[in-house]
């Protein structure tokens, strides 16, 4: 709606404070704007490899029946996830990516005047989801390493707090909370607070990291969010899932769309789970090695890089203006990264770990971009 249109008066008052989500810029957009043919995108934390071969085969097979509506309950996917997670199927709700599930949870639970407690900077959709419902954000600072400071988050909880969100590994920093610290946090929450663990980057956690689904296996009141967009390389299909008590999922189901997850996405996700111990493990190990190499290369150029356990790193600059200058310089050199301003870190750029050749190019172009940015001051 146009800003001066009388139709803006129809919008709910809470939406006045909600900014639209800013996705990473697509490759074609940069090509058109700057006239650059060779562009690499390291902005949106997509996996650098294609989907598993079994997933590609399943997509092709499912395409033959797209004239039909998909399974609204995603029952085969629920069963596959149930086997994979060792959680009853009735505790699982697939959705159109984690972002959609976040909005559905907030729509189902939050009223105006309620609070959602979260550390910041973090994933902007949690703030958006609360703001859309007229709920307030009870905000806590991150720990120095960029992970959620669970002590501060606990202190931010008040009598109107309904949801306490832990994003781990955190986006945009990449740092994760410890398993023991998460145990302690969950054990000391007030009864009126529902904990939500956003594990979109769960597969990238090192061995011994937290696995919030285990609390669901114990029958505890908790929500866990995961996705097939990152490690499983299905970002273009939009499929994630929520693990939570059936009573809560029943409420969320009242507001979800009837056919939330398309048929091709369901088929690809099921096939990806079958291949979870095959090609996936090799790819995760490769990303971890490349993350260490990229971080070291950036540090060698004098940059501050936060520790990460995910498939990206966050680079801090002296100021928001400095980050913007380097981002512009990288764009002109054909490298798309993600300004972290929408996530609450305007002085930073988030950089996805790509293929080894893309990471080589990033490091080479960053050296030139730093020179270009300094010359533009």
List of domains in the chain: 21-50+279-376 (3.90.1150.10), 54-274 (3.40.640.10)
| Secondary structure (DSSP) of 193-258 | -EEEEE-TTGGGSPTT---THHHHHTT-S-EEEEESSSTT--GGG--EEEE--HHHHHHHHTTS-T
pLDDT of residue 2: 54
Contact 14, 132 (CB under 8 A): yes
State pTM to two decimals: 0.93
Whether pLDDT at 11 is above 90:
no
Mean pLDDT for 331-335 is 96
Mean pLDDT for 70-92 is 96
- Kind and range of the H or E run holding 313: strand 312-316
Whether pLDDT at 8 is above 90:
no
pLDDT category at 338 given cuts 50, 70, 90 is very high
Contact 75, 55 (CB under 8 A): no
Mean pLDDT for 184-206 is 96
Which 3 state secondary structure label does DSSP give 125? Answer: helix
Whether pLDDT at 69 is above 60:
yes
- Identify the weakest region by mean pLDDT among 206-210, 333-337, 348-352: 206-210
- Identify the weakest region by mean pLDDT among 32-46, 168-182, 186-200, 341-355: 32-46
- Kind and range of the H or E run holding 372: helix 356-376
pLDDT (tens digit per residue) in 287-326: 999 999 999 999 999 999 999 999 999 999 999 999 999 9
Mean pLDDT for 15-26 is 79
Contact 239, 227 (CB under 8 A): yes
Residue 167 forms beta bridges with which residues? 198
pLDDT category at 1 given cuts 50, 70, 90 is very low
């Amino acid at each position: 709606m146009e800003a001066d249109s009388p139709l803006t008066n129809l919008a709910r008052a809470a939406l006045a404070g909600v900014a639209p989500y800013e996705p990473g810029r697509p490759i074609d957009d940069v090509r058109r704007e700057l006239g650059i043919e060779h562009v690499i995108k390291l902005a949106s934390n997509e996996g650098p490899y294609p989907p598993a071969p079994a997933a590609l085969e399943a997509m092709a097979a499912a395409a033959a029946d797209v004239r039909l509506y998909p399974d609204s309950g995603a029952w085969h996917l629920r069963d596959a996830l149930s086997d994979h997670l060792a959680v009853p199927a009735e505790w699982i709700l697939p959705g159109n990516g984690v972002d959609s599930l976040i909005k559905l949870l907030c729509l189902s639970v939050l009223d105006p005047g309620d609070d959602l407690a979260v550390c910041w900077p973090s994933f902007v959709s949690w703030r958006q989801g609360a703001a859309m419902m007229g709920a307030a954000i009870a905000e806590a600072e991150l720990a120095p390493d960029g992970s959620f400071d669970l002590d501060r988050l606990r202190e931010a909880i008040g009598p109107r707090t309904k949801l306490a969100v832990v994003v781990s590994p955190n986006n945009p920093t990449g740092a994760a909370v410890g398993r023991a610290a998460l145990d302690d946090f969950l054990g000391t929450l007030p009864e009126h607070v529902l904990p939500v663990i956003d594990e979109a980057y769960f597969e990238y956690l090192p061995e011994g990291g937290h696995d919030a689904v285990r609390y669901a296996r114990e029958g505890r009141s908790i929500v866990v969010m995961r996705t097939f967009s990152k490690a499983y390389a299905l970002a273009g299909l939009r499929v994630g899932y929520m693990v939570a008590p059936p009573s809560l999922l029943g409420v969320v189901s009242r507001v979800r769309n009837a056919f939330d997850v398309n048929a091709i996405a369901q088929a690809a996700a099921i096939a990806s789970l079958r291949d979870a111990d095959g090609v996936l493990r090799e790819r995760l190990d490769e990303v971890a090695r490349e993350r260490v190499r990229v971080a070291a290369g950036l540090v060698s150029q004098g940059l501050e890089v936060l520790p990460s356990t995910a498939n990206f790193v966050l680079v801090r600059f002296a100021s928001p203006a400095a980050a913007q200058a380097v981002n512009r310089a990288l764009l002109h050199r054909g490298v798309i990264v993600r300004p972290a301003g929408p996530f609450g870190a305007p002085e930073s750029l988030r950089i996805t770990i790509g293929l080894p050749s893309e990471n080589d190019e990033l490091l080479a172009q960053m050296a030139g971009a730093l020179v270009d940015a300094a010359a533009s001051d």
